[in-house]
Amino acid sequence: MSLTKPKAVRAGATFGVISPASTPKAELVNAGVEALHALGYKTKIFPHALDRGPLYYAGTAKERVADLHAAFADPAVDVVICTRGGWGSAELLPLLGAELIRANAKAFIGYSDQTSLHVWLRNECDLISFQGPMVAADFSKSAGREGAVDEGSWVAALEGVSAWELGAAHGLRVLRAGVAEGELSGGCCSIYTESLGTPYTARARGGVLFLEDIGVKPYQWDRMLVHLRLAGMLEGVVGIVFGDMAQCGNGDEIEASLMHALRDFNGPIGIGLRSGHVASGNITVPFGVRVRLEFEDEARPRMRFVEAAVRG
């Protein structure tokens, strides 16, 4: 079955702002909204996006689902974007309506805890979605700090460039040389891994796997990769790209742990791609499109998106 490509996102598009997980700071949401307006977009903040509680959640699970459903169903909204991650999106999965979302397919943007929603959208709706900058977590910084969002990948992924690529300028380095091509999937590794054993686990499809995280120690990376391997989640995977490890500690130790865990994996391996939990230049990556890893030349690694992620 071919995947559904959402409509291209261009100037004038309206972004529906929601908080499926933890509650954001209102001032950061407001700053992020202003940054989106400066790029020529419109915004609509949904009723519970700034809710505080219960606990650390932005409203109850039913309230957060109501916002997500309303954002997809609203014909005036072109894109659904999250304020932040944190924790809570997995609570929504049993309450989500696949029929509603399939009937109103549009771009969904987020990372971190939103990995749960990316996996669900792929499993239940066959919808391409985007790991990309969030309103409070990233766009809020762009007004005061140039380069908080990688504009090149944002435009290429969301406006529909048919073929584009990422490379050394985006932090990408080669850990194991080789060439591979397949559908891209993945996200925040801890969230991706913790879904195993539930009805909402990512379905093993092979292809190219992208994994990133924050505050994960070398042995924890090793443990998660062993977990994925023993669960059969690396079967058919032809290439792996890891994110920027600057917020995970000792880079040399992490790389050694990764290569130990993947010592029997034969495909190309890259690391350092600045998408997700990064300090600056957050790169937008579409899940569900074909990507080609060209890691023969260590000085010129290329991660090529060979098809557009959007239509029209």
Residue 205 has a pLDDT of 78
What confidence category does residue 253 fall into, taking pLDDT thresholds of 50, 70 and 90? very high
Whether residue 277 lies in the annotated active site: yes
How do residues 69-121 score in pLDDT, each as one tens digit?
999 999 999 999 999 999 999 999 999 999 999 999 999 999 999 999 999 99
What confidence category does residue 1 fall into, taking pLDDT thresholds of 50, 70 and 90? low
Whether residue 170 lies in the annotated active site: no
What confidence category does residue 196 fall into, taking pLDDT thresholds of 50, 70 and 90? very high
Residue 312 has a pLDDT of 85
Question: Does residue 78 or residue 161 have the better pLDDT?
Answer: 78
> Which one of 165, 183, 212, 294 is the catalytic residue?
212
Residue 58 near residue 88, CB atoms below 8 Å: yes
Q: Is the pTM of this model over 0.75?
A: yes
Residue 2 has a pLDDT of 83
Q: What is the mean pLDDT of residues 20-42?
A: 97
> Which one of 19, 22, 89, 112 is the catalytic residue?
112
Q: What is the dihedral of CA 53, 56, 60, 65, to 10 degrees?
A: 130
> Which one of 48, 69, 118, 277 is the catalytic residue?
277
